[in-house]
Amino acid sequence: MGMPGVGKGTQAARLRDRAGVVHLSTGDILREAVQRGTALGTRVQGFLDSGKLVPDELIGDLIADRLGQQDAAAGFILDGFPRTVEQVVILDEALRRLRVGLDGVYLLTAPKSEIVRRLSGRRVCADCGAVYHVDSRSPRVEGKCDACGHALMQRPDDTEEVIRERLEVYNRQTLPIAEKYRERGLLHEIDGTGSPVAVFERLIGEVNLS
């Protein structure tokens, strides 16, 4: 969990590599659907472009289906889900059916000024989704992805106006669920400032990888 741009995707990808479990990002799944022009993509594009949340029932079906797939049987990292109180209920139900529990909920934190700086300088590979930053993580060749050579782009929802909306949505709809997980004794707060390596060291100190 954490504000948009706090580093959830970056840290989840590192954790996936370390723990050997799948990384399920609802944002990535939805962006891919938009890019491929699927029926789901057509339905959700307006929500993504404006920074609003996609309706819970669409996300619920998508996640229940994804968690039931074979590659998730050994474990999974959820990134960007759940994001509303209703989605917590949807997740509880899906986990109950699968007979698995959550090991922990990791809340990355950073000051809002840092978040705005990160989001407005963020660039992503239009093909493989690798993440860069104009100041702190520039690619070897300007405008091109180090991993696959495709063009880098700014996410359409990383513009100033949409960033403001996404932060507002986060505070109103998502932050309250951190309290729910705190009450269940699952919440770990991680300082998300500093380099990705430094944040990962803090994160890994809180995750039980046994």
Q: Which is nearer to ligand AMP, 54 or 209 (CB)?
A: 54
With contacts defined by CB under 6 A, name the span among 52-60, 66-74, 108-116, 117-125 that binds ligand AMP. Answer: 52-60
Comparing CB distances to ligand AMP, the nearer of 67 and 201 is: 67
Backbone angles phi, psi at 58, to 5 degrees: -65, -45
Question: What would the x/- binding string for ligand AMP be over residues 165 to 194, using CB under 6 A?
Answer: -x----------------------------
Angle at alpha carbon of residue 163, lines to 157 and 165, rounded to 5°: 105
Q: Which two tokens stand for residue 159?
A: 């513009």
The answer to whether 61 touches 92, Cβ cutoff 8 Å, is no
| Binding of ligand AMP by 59 (CB under 6 A) | yes
Q: Is 123 in the site for ligand AMP (CB under 6 A)?
A: no
Does residue 45 bind ligand AMP (CB under 6 A)? no
Give the separation between CA 107 and CA 143, rounded to whole angstroms. 31
Provide the minimum distance between the beta carbon of 141 and ligand AMP in the complex, in angstroms, as a whole number.
25
Q: Two tokens at 166?
A: 């996404």
Euclidean distance between CA atoms 141 and 158, whole angstroms: 22
Distance in Å, CB of 58 to ligand AMP, minimum:
8
Give, as one character, the DSSP assignment of residue 102.
-
54 binds ligand AMP (CB under 6 A): yes
Of these, 10, 11, 26, 45, which contacts ligand AMP (CB under 6 A)?
26
Active site residues: 8, 83, 122, 155, 166
Alpha-carbon gap, residue 206 to 187, rounded angstroms: 10
Among 33, 34, 48, 115, binds ligand AMP (CB under 6 A): 48
DSSP state of 174: I
How far is residue 185's CA from residue 27's CA, in Å, rounded to a whole number? 26
Strand 131-133 relative to strand 105-109, pairing: unpaired
Site size for ligand AMP (CB under 6 A): 17
Give the type of residue at 123. R
Binding to ligand AMP in span 100-119, by CB under 6 A: none
- Residues near ligand AMP, by CB under 6 A: 4, 26-27, 30, 47-48, 51-54, 59, 80-81, 83, 87, 157, 166
